[in-house]
Amino acid sequence: MPMKVLSVASEAVPLVKTGGLADVAGALPGAVAQHGVAMTTLLPGYPSVLKALPRARTVHSWDSLLGTSARLLSGKLGEHPLLVLDAPALYDREGSPYSDAAGRDWDDNWRRFAALGRAAADIAGGAIVKRGKPQGFDLVHAHDWQAAMAPAYLHFAPLGTEAVPSVVTIHNMAFQGWFDRKAFAQMGLPASAWTMHGVEYHDGVGMLKAGLACAAAVTTVSPTYAREIRTGTFGMGLEGLIIARGNAVSGILNGIDIDRWNPGRDKALAETYTWRTLERRLANKRALEAEFGLDEDDGPLFIAVTRLTWQKGMDVIPQVLDHLVGLGGRLALLGSGDPEIERALFEGAARHQGRVAIRLGYDEDLSHRMQGGGDAILVPSRFEPCGLTQLYGLAYGCIPVVSRTGGLADTVIDANPAALAAGCATGIQHDGVSHDALSAALTRAAQLYRQGEVWHRVQKNAMKCDFSWTASGKAYADLYRSLIA
Ligand code: ADP
C-alpha cells in the first residue's frame, strides 16, 4: 500500500503561481509517486483554480470553517489527485493570491490561511467519508507559512484521535505570516496553544513559527540554507527555534520539472537543442536580441528573470550596468517588483540603448526563450533558499552567475582554475552582493565567454547535470516513511 500524503500549499503550477513554491508543489506528487507515495494536493479555491475544475465533485463541506461556509472539491493536478477548498468569502478574489490590486496584503490573510490549515487537519483526520469509511491520510506536508497552521491544528486540535504526523517545508524564511494576537481567539485552538511552544510569537500569532514548533520534521530547500537559517542573518528571528529542533531540520534540494524545462523539446524556443547541438542555440540568441530590441553581436548576452527585490540583489544591477556594457556585454531583464528598482533599471536602459533592455511583468514563455537564448543568467541573491532560475539556466546552457549562498552555493560549481582543470565547472560564484563583487563576477564571465571552447565546455557540463526530481523525490519519500514508522 502506498503511503497517503496530503501536500498543502497556497500555490501550485499549472493552476496558480507567484514563485518557486508553485513549481515545487506542482512537481512533488510526480516526484514521490515512484517511491511509494500517493500524494494529494490541497489548494485554496482561488478563481483561477476553480476555473480549471468545471466538473469537480464536492467531497465534504463545512457549515463553519473558522466562521465561513466551505466545501471541498475533488479534481486533478496533472495526473495526481487534487482537493480544492472552495470558500468564496476567503478566496473568491481575482489577482494575487495574497494581496489586493494595490499590492496590500489582505487584512484577513490570517483567516484565509488558518482555514487552509484547519481544513488540512480535518482532511488528514478523515473528514472525507467514502462508503461509510473515513479517508484519512498518513502524513501532512505543509509548505510555507500559508499552510503551516496544519501541523498546529493536528497537534492541538486534531479531528480524530489518531496522531497524524506532519512535515513543514520552508521555501523562504523571509515570509513568516505574523498576525496580531486578536486573531488567536478566532482560530478555534485551545488556550494551551498560546505558548512559546505553540502559535504565540512576539505576542502575536506566528503561523510559520507554529508549524516549525509542531511538525515532526522541518525541511528547507537546500542543505546550505538549512545551515544558514541557524544564524540570525538568515533565520530572521526563528534561528533559535531552528537550532532547538536540531536534527529534525534538514535540507532537500528542489528539482526541476524536466518535461517543462527541456531545451531539446521546448516549444517556446525558436530552435531546440541539446548539449550535442549547442551551435543551434545561436538562433535563439538572435531571436532574443530582436525581441528585446538589443544590438545583434557576438558579445555575451546576460539575462535575469526574477522578482525585482532586495532579496534577489536586483538593486545592485543598475550599479553595474556601465561595467557590463563596458565589457561588451548586453542585458535582457524580465521581472517586476520594487518600483524603485524598476525606475533605476529603466534609467540604465535609457543610457544604454541597444545594450540593456527591461521587460516588466510576468511571462512564462518569455522566460523560456531567455534561458534558451541568453549566454549567462545573473542571480545575485542576498539569500536564496534554493533558487530555480539558476537550475533552468544550467539545463539550458545559460551559465549561472550567482552569489555563494543557499541553494545557489549547492547547485553551481564555480569555474575556478581547479574546477576548470577537472572539467566540472558549471558557472560563476561571487561572495557577497555588492557593486565590486558583481563587477568582478561579470568580468570573469566575459573573460570565460571569450575563450569560446572553454565556455562551451562549461555549458556542456551544466547541461549534463541532473537536477530532475529523481534524487529529491526519494529523499522526501524516505523522510515521510521515517516519520510514519
Ligand atoms: P522565488 O520563488 O524566490 O521568486 P525561484 O528562483 O525559486 O525564486 O523561483 C522563481 C520562479 O518564478 C522561477 O520559475 C522563475 O522562472 C519564475 N519567474 C520569476 N519572475 C518571473 C517573471 N517575471 N516572468 C516569468 N517567470 C518568472
Give ligand 1 pocket residues (Cβ under 6 A). 19-20, 23, 172, 305-307, 334-336, 362-364, 367, 386-389
Q: What is the pLDDT of residue 383?
A: 97
Residue nearest to atom 22 of ligand 1 (CA): 362
Condensed to tens digits (0 to 9), the pLDDT of residues 268-309 reads: 999 999 999 999 999 999 999 999 999 999 999 999 999 999
Q: Which atom of ligand 1 is nearest to the CA of 18?
A: 12
pLDDT digits (tens, 9 = 90+) for 399-452: 999 999 999 999 999 999 999 999 999 999 999 999 999 999 999 999 999 999
Q: Which ligand 1 atom is nearest residue 311's CA?
A: 3
Give residue 115's pLDDT: 98
Mean pLDDT of 77-102: 96
DSSP for 281-320, written as a single string: HHHHHHHHHHHHTPPP-SS-EEEEEEEESTTTTTTTHHHH
User: Under a CB-based contact definition with an 8 Å cutoff, are residues 149 and 178 in contact?
Assistant: no
Q: How far is the CA of 363 from the centre of ligand 1 (A)?
A: 10
Q: Which residue has the cell 552582493?
A: 433
pLDDT at position 485, please?
A: 73
Ligand 1 centroid from CA 184, angstroms: 33
Q: How far apart are CA 150 and CA 142, in angstroms?
A: 7
Reply yes or no on whether the pLDDT at 478 is more than 80.
yes
Read off the pLDDT of each residue in 245-264 and give the average, rounded to a whole number: 95
| pLDDT tens track for 312-354 | 999 999 999 999 999 999 999 999 999 999 999 999 999 999 9
Q: What percent of the chain has pLDDT over 90?
A: 97
Residue 307 Cα: closest atom of ligand 1: 20
Mean pLDDT of the chain: 97
Average confidence (pLDDT) over 119-142:
97
User: Quick one: pLDDT at residue 111?
Assistant: 98
Confidence check: pLDDT of 252 > 80 = yes
State the pLDDT at residue 203: 97
To test the pocket of ligand 1, the residue of 305, 360, 384, 467 to mutate (highest count of ligand atoms within 8 Å of its CB) is 305
Residue 161: which pLDDT band, with cuts at 50, 70 and 90?
Answer: confident
> pTM here?
0.95
CA separation for the pair 306, 170 (Å, rounded): 19
Residue 368's pLDDT is 98
Question: Residue 179 pLDDT > 80, yes or no?
Answer: yes
Q: From ligand 1's centre to the CA of 470, what distance in Å? A: 22
> At 160, is the pLDDT very low, low, confident or very high (cuts 50, 70, 90)?
confident
Mean pLDDT of 170-177: 97
Nearest to 140 by CA among 131, 250, 158: 158
What is the pLDDT confidence band of residue 162, given thresholds at 50, 70 and 90?
confident
3-state secondary structure 317-381: HHHHHHHHHHCCCEEEEEEEECHHHHHHHHHHHHHCCCCEEEEECCCHHHHHHHHHHCCEEEECC
Average pLDDT over residues 170-192: 97
**Sole residue written with cell 556585454:** 329
Decide: residue 295, CB within 10 A, 0-12 exposed, 13-18 middle, 19+ buried.
exposed
- Ligand 1 atom at shortest distance from the alpha carbon of 336: 23
The pLDDT value given to residue 62: 98
The span from the CA of 40 to the CA of 333, in Å, is: 36
β-bridge pairing 428-430 and 166-170: unpaired
